[in-house]
Amino acid sequence: MKQAVLTLLFTASFVISPAFTTFTGFESNQLPIPQVDPPIQPAGYAFSIWGLIYAWLVVSAVFGLWKRDDDPAWNAARPYLIASLVIGTPWLYVATQSAVLATVMIIAMAITAIMAFLRTPVFDRWLLRVPVAIYAGWLTAASFVSIGSTMAGYGVASDSLGWAYVGIAGALIVALAVFAKLPSAAYLLTIVWALVGIIVANQTGPQSVVWLAQGGIAALLIVMIWTYLRGRSSQPY
């Protein structure tokens, strides 16, 4: 079966999966140390970005099947995107059953999504590169949210505040490493969106988390602006 068909099929399964499972965070009985609004978790509104991701991935998959079904440049990214979507389709259900397995799965989703993004062609950037960049960017942030919540929930090495520091730092390191490989404002600004959500969520919480997130946003924006001013990429999206 053609990769374009599989991409559309698993995009559809991924997009409709929320209709069958409701997940608003790990339940207290899923972790030995309940994590109620951990500081690493963005404010609820930030998750609305999934609406944009779902819609844009559908548009991309439909266009890809219609106009780029056998395009070798698109096919370079498709196997990794398909893998991420396959893992992502049952993720919501798994997350209601096992925090550990869900964390492992979202890390795998993020890795394969980043690999897909790094292989997107320079043309059709609004129909492939940008939607995959936003998808990969949000999964980058979400994977560290899941790691921080789960590790704190099992009392590994530190508490929820310590893991918030680790999660934010980890997300920034990965984001900058990916950006160094393929400069993309869409990818980096999605990380910024997640960090803003963390700031909003911690307005009455630990201010050290707010300061770290603010510093991270400043660093990402400085790197992005500096990169484009230097002319390292003629495709800023």
**pLDDT given for residue 234 in this prediction:** 52
Domain positions in the chain are: 3-21+39-229
Angle between helices 3-16 and 72-88 (to 10 degrees): 30
**pLDDT given for residue 176 in this prediction:** 97
**pLDDT given for residue 196 in this prediction:** 98
Mean pLDDT of the 34-45 span: 89
What average pLDDT is seen over the chain?
A: 93
Give the pLDDT band of residue 237 (cuts 50, 70, 90). Answer: low
Write the DSSP symbol of residue 68: -
Mean pLDDT of the 152-156 span: 90
pLDDT tens-digit readout, 205-234: 889 999 999 999 999 999 999 998 887 555
The neighbour count for residue 93, using CB atoms within 10 Å, is: 13
The neighbour count for residue 206, using CB atoms within 10 Å, is: 14
DSSP string across 92-154: HHHHTT-HHHHHHHHHHHHHHHHHHHHT--STTIIIIIHHHHHHHHHHHHHHHHHHHHHHHHT
Contacts of 165 (CB under 8 A, 6+ apart): 208, 209, 212
CB 15 within 8 A of CB 123: no
**pLDDT given for residue 233 in this prediction:** 52
- Checking if the pLDDT of 180 tops 80, the result is yes
Structure tokens at 170: 């980890």
pTM of the model: 0.95
- Checking if the pLDDT of 64 tops 90, the result is yes
What single-letter amino acid sits at 82?
Answer: I
Cα-Cα end-to-end distance for the chain: 31
- Checking if the pLDDT of 5 tops 60, the result is yes
Give Rg (Cα) of the chain: 18
More confident residue, 36 or 195: 195
Mean pLDDT of the 180-200 span: 97
